[in-house]
Amino acid sequence: MKIPEFTSFELLPLTGSLGAEIFGSDLNAANDEVIAQVQLALDHYHVLAIRDQSFDPCSFHKVARRFGPFTGNPIHTPLDGFDDVVRFTREAEDRGKVVGEDLHMDMAWMENPPAVTMLYGEEIPQVGGDTLFSSLSAAYEGLSDAMRELIQDLIGVHEGKGVYAVNAVHKTLNVKSSAQSLEEIATHHPLVCCHPTTGRRHLFLSSALHRFVGMTEAESLPIIRFLQTYAQRVEYTCRLRWAPGTLSMWSNTCLLHSAINDYPGQRRVVLRTTIAGSPPTGGSYL
């Protein structure tokens, strides 16, 4: 796929598979052309680390909404005065899991999961607290033709069970009490999807994928486990190193990601919002 040229900022790819850093653009002052180029870069690299931004919740909200409408977030309690901005604070003395630990896709069990997640670093550890990403496009492209053909028409069932229970034990996550109803959700998405703009195919995997339509869990799980393990091969990953003022945007449904829990004794504070796109749709076999 031909990578476009970007004239509004400097862009440095992070790895051969995915991810790019962007320098030299203040999104608070961006015109429509810059926003369009950031979206184009995101569509091609799937993870962006846009350096040297300066947001408070209000300007973060304003910039986010230029990329598209809010998806809703049935899990986390937003900041006062906002429906679309959440703050995740990990205090230096906190122990146990961090928000977003273990590879996952954000809210994959929604009918229309976030197309894009935006995370802004307000306070970042001196070292540690990176985010790991795994490309579900590169993983799909790495499969054999026979395997692609085998999985082409499978429909995944993404379930909410465990989502509330897992998060609710972590009191610092501000989980909404209404999130309890998510335990009942079971949403169908094609296992092989197409990116809505580039047409590039990707797996639609998540930690909430438990079976395929028409198959038992016992039949589905070996395929799911294989794909989840396969998608984590190092050549399909990149690691985003945060700095204060870094804005990350990622193409949520084309990736798995994980917050790395390796900074005990340090504080980490991020703002998060999500952007709706078109619902995941299947792609025919290449």
Can residue 48 be called a binding residue for ligand SIN (CB under 6 A)?
A: no
Place of tokens 């307000």: 122
Sort strands 47-50 and 20-23 into parallel, antiparallel or unpaired: parallel
Give me the residue whose beta carbon is nearest to ligand SIN. Answer: 100
CB 46 within 8 A of CB 250: yes
Can residue 203 be called a binding residue for ligand SIN (CB under 6 A)?
A: no
Give which of 92, 85, 284 is closest to 190, Cα–Cα. 284
Can residue 100 be called a binding residue for ligand SIN (CB under 6 A)?
A: yes
Using CB under 6 A, which of 9, 70, 87, 106 touches ligand SIN?
Answer: 106
Rounded least distance, CB 143 to ligand SIN, Å: 26
Distance CA 251, CA 199 (A): 14
The maximal CA–CA distance of the chain, rounded, in angstroms, is 53
CB 246 within 8 A of CB 107: no
Using CB under 6 A, which of 115, 124, 259, 271 touches ligand SIN?
Answer: 259
Rounded least distance, CB 60 to ligand SIN, Å: 14
Using CB under 6 A, which of 99, 116, 163, 193 touches ligand SIN?
Answer: 99
Give which of 274, 273, 266, 272 is closest to 90, Cα–Cα. 266
Rounded least distance, CB 106 to ligand SIN, Å: 6
Distance CA 22, CA 103 (A): 24
Rounded least distance, CB 284 to ligand SIN, Å: 31
Q: Which residues ranging from 120 to 179 are in contact with ligand SIN (CB under 6 A)? A: 131
Q: Residue 49 or residue 154: which is nearer to ligand SIN going by CB?
A: 49
Main-chain dihedrals φ then ψ at residue 272, nearest 5 degrees: -135, 140
Distance CA 29, CA 274 (A): 21
Which range binds ligand SIN by CB under 6 A, 73-81, 98-106, 174-182, 209-217? 98-106
Residues binding ligand SIN (CB under 6 A): 99-100, 106, 117, 119, 131, 257, 259, 270, 272
